[in-house]
Amino acid sequence: MPFILCTTICCCLPCIISVLGFREDFAHNRGATQESINSLPTYKFKIKKSRNSNDKETGGGVEGGIVAAGTEKERVISGEDAVCCICLTKYANNDELRELPCSHFFHKECVDKWLKINANCPLCKSEVGETILSSLTEATANLRNNTI
């Protein structure tokens, strides 16, 4: 009987500890608020065709794309980065992308769902909520200093 009791404790104790540790970790990785998610910028994606559009191995000549075309925040995205790493789908023309403070782009609907669960960037794991709040606090402080 003592052998069975000892074996049970030795087998169950690691499971109990891992479950308790998982709960602590889960509480630490809370999602972002809807307000902070909505404050992140969104842009339309425009496909940029390469000059060698007969090359079928590159996916019909799609080299990458342009985000925020025609604005001061316009950026070119390479073919490697023109994929949402959450749903693993290539960006299509006029897809709505959301940019995180770490400058990574994702489909708006994909990253919104992700951020509600986990307030970290899916790629680099930088915290999204704190960055937004600190930049909003800085902007508010700058406005107050300028109006005084």
**Domain boundaries of the chain, sorted by first residue:** 1-30, 34-147
Q: pLDDT (tens digit, 9 = 90+) per residue, 126-146?
A: 998 755 555 555 555 555 666
CATH architecture of 34-147: 2-Layer Sandwich (3.30)
What average pLDDT does the chain have? Answer: 78
Nearest one of 19, 73, 83 to 41, comparing CA atoms = 73
What digits encode the pLDDT tens for the residues 65-115? Answer: 888 877 888 889 888 889 999 999 999 999 999 999 999 999 999 999 999
Per-residue confidence (pLDDT) for residue 24, from 0 to 100 = 52
pTM above 0.85, yes or no: no
Per DSSP bridges, beta strands 62-67 and 105-107 are unpaired
Tell me how far apart the alpha carbons of residues 125 and 77 are, in angstroms, rounded to a whole number.
20
Other C-beta atoms lying within 10 Å of the C-beta of residue 97:
23
* Those residues with Cβ within 8 angstroms of residue 132's Cβ, 6 or more apart along the chain or in another chain: 32, 36, 39, 40, 101
